Amino acid sequence: MISATKIVTNKTTARQILTQVVPRRAVLAMPEYYPPLAGRNALRLDFNENTFSPSPKVLERLRQITAEGLTKYPERAGVERIAAAHFGLAADQVLLTNGVDEAIHLVCAAFLEEIDEVLISTPTFFMFEVSARMMTAHLMRVQTDASLEFPYGRFLAAITPQTKLIIVASPNNPTGAVVSREHLLNLCAAAPQAVVMVDEAYYHFFGETLFADVGKVPNLLVARTFSKAYGLANLRIGLLAGNAELIKYVRKVSSPYNVNGVALDCLPVALADEEYVYWYAAQVNAGRTRMMDGLRTLGVDFFPSHANFVLMKIGIKHAELVAAMRTHGVLLRDRSSDPGCDGYVRITIGVEEHVTRGLAALKESLQEIGWAK
């Protein structure tokens, strides 16, 4: 058997010589995330994506991509200037990333030492945990109570002098719960030694943002994705905004080519077509009301969501419901293994027709599995 290390001693030193490659301890200990993406040739109400399409103007831009264009390395800086201006920010306050996933990863890489603490509330987006644990074992989780609301008082009390990074998604995934601007700014003030990253991936379905505080609050970072309302999940593009000093460090640990040129070509067009994004958000907001009304009629409890999904309390038949819905051609996401979410299943809200199909399949599936509260 090959042992990973052997001890070599000479007169003055005892040192370990590695006889096989091992990763950092944090990498060995960190959790893995394998989203269940196989076999999604159905109505995708499982991953909170846009269920329909990006702006037709983006599709038009895609058709103009040339062979020569594909041979070039992507140029991020010009598009960053356009995106910054669109959001009323300076170019050095913005970094484009390979989705918010990469923004989280880069923030952890830029700011965390092994001894630092990261503070999150659970349940939340699992990538916070994956990226934080990549750097440090000191991930502090504040669990919501049965209400699933953000546990503001206990969260504030959990800040310590060792807290170096706080990540809060508002609206949160998988609950759809939100945190007020006042509470988020209080967190920034209570932890001046920490980066406070507010993940606004679902901003368009809620409408409140901390963008106006970017640059004014020195330790605030705000992340936005183009995977949801803009319908560009497959292009992998997100945006991180913050004061220029913080962004400078995150940029330093990013590859200059982290965002592909196709995504960079499409972003200005997607941003300019505001009408389309408002239309899509309006579809979702109307659909969410219809879904929540439908759930009340069916007797299914749920968390009142501010995002493009609703977390339903199904109970012991959660897996049966997901399987039954699949036979109706509709994918849902079982969230039962999330902390505090036993028996919960999440349904994405899309355009009108998709909500109608989702609701109809839900009604039939609940009947088929003999569901009762």
Question: Least separation, in Å, of the C-beta of 228 and ligand PLP?
Answer: 7
Question: Based on CB atoms, which residue is closest to ligand PLP, 307 or 324?
Answer: 307
CA angle 227, 230, 236 (to 5 degrees): 30
Question: Based on CB atoms, which residue is closest to ligand PLP, 176 or 287?
Answer: 176
Residue 314 CB neighbours (<10 A): 24
Angle between helices 56-63 and 261-272 (to 10 degrees): 140
Question: Based on CB atoms, which residue is closest to ligand PLP, 338 or 366?
Answer: 338
Question: Least separation, in Å, of the C-beta of 17 and ligand PLP?
Answer: 40
Question: Based on CB atoms, which residue is closest to ligand PLP, 173 or 365?
Answer: 173
CA distance 225 to 239: 6
Question: Least separation, in Å, of the C-beta of 197 and ligand PLP?
Answer: 10
Question: Least separation, in Å, of the C-beta of 188 and ligand PLP?
Answer: 19
> What is each CA distance from 227 to 23, 85, 101, 144, 270, in whole angstroms?
32, 20, 11, 27, 11
Three-state SS for 68?
A: helix
Question: Least separation, in Å, of the C-beta of 108 and ligand PLP?
Answer: 14
Question: Based on CB atoms, which residue is closest to ligand PLP, 223 or 312?
Answer: 223
Q: Give residue number: closest CB to ligand PLP.
A: 99
> What is each CA distance from 324 to 129, 227, 261, 279, in whole angstroms?
31, 28, 41, 31
CA distance 227 to 96: 13
Question: Least separation, in Å, of the C-beta of 98 and ligand PLP?
Answer: 8
Question: Based on CB atoms, which residue is closest to ligand PLP, 171 or 358?
Answer: 171
> What is each CA distance from 340 to 154, 174, 255, in whole angstroms?
16, 11, 37
Q: Which residues contact ligand PLP (rule: CB under 6 A)?
A: 48, 99-101, 125, 169, 173, 199, 201, 225, 227, 233, 238
